[in-house]
A = this chain, B = another copy of it.
C-alpha cells in the first residue's frame, strides 16, 4: 500500500460509487488532490487506475469525467461477466481441489447465515458472495481472467443495489451457489458453466427489475440508452 496513491484511489472510487460524485461530473486533478489531502501526482495515478476500471472516462483532450452507465452498458457488463465467469467456472470445475471446495462451502455457509437472520445482513452476504466468486476465480487459475474480471466483479458499492434485493432473491443466489458446489464436486465443467451463466444473468434481471422506473439522473454525455446508476455487478 503506497500511501497517498492508494488513498486517493480508494477515496475517489468511494466518492464515485457512493454517488457523491454523480455520473458526468468533471474530475479536476487539483480539486481531487485537495479533497484527498495529497498532491496531484498520486491523484493522476488514481485516475488512471479508475479509468482502467471504467469508472472514469477521458475525453480526447484528456479531461476526466465520472463514467456514464446507460442501461445498455450495464447489460453489456453483465453479458461479458456472464461469459467470463462461466468460463472460469468451467475451468474451476476441471481443477477443483478438496481444499477449495471446502472454502466454497464455507463461503456459502456464511451467506446462508447472512440471509437466515430476520433482517438479512447485506454486508455479510456481499462479503460471502465476494469470497465465493473469488475462490472460483482462483481455482480457475488464469491470471488474465482474474485481471479482466477484477474490474467487473468487485462489489464495493452494490450497497445501493443490494438493499433492493428481497429475501427471495438472496435465497435464490445462495441456492445457485449450492448448485455450483454440486457441479464442482462432480467435476462437471459444462454444468458449472451453465449454472454460472444463469446465475449472473438472473442477477442482471434482478438489477434491472429493481431499477426499472427509477428516476434518471441528469445525463451528460453520449450515453446510448436510458441512463442508469453507476455501480458494479453482483450475483
Interface residue ranges, A against B (CB under 8 Å) = 2, 41, 44-45, 48-49, 52, 54, 62, 73, 76-77, 79-80, 83-84, 87, 142-145, 147-148
Contact = CB atoms under 8 A, between A and B. Distances in A.
Given A45-B48, A54-B147, A80-B84, 12 more contacts: A41-B41, A44-B45, A48-B48, A48-B49, A52-B52, A54-B144, A76-B142, A76-B143, A80-B87, A80-B144, A80-B148, A83-B87
B148 A148 contact: yes
A86 to B, nearest CB: 10
Nearest to A61: B2
Contact of A145 (B41, B80, B147): B80
Contacts of A144: 54, 73, 76-77, 80
A143 B80 contact: no
Contacts of A48: 45, 48-49
A223 to B, nearest CB: 11
A194 to B, nearest CB: 15
A44 B62 CA distance: 17
A144 B144 CA distance: 15
A2 B76 contact: no
A159 to B, nearest CB: 22
Contacts of A44: 45
Contacts of A147: 54
B80 A142 contact: yes
27 contacts: A2-B62, A41-B41, A44-B45, A45-B48, A48-B48, A48-B49, A52-B52, A54-B143, A54-B144, A54-B147, A73-B143, A73-B144, A76-B143, A76-B145, A77-B144, A79-B87, A79-B142, A80-B84, A80-B87, A80-B142, A80-B144, A80-B145, A80-B148, A83-B83, A83-B84, A83-B87, A148-B148
Q: Which of A79, A83, A84, A143 has the most CB of B within 10 A?
A: A143
Contacts of A84: 80, 83
A228 to B, nearest CB: 14
Q: Which of A41, A79, A145, A148 has the most CB of B within 10 A?
A: A148
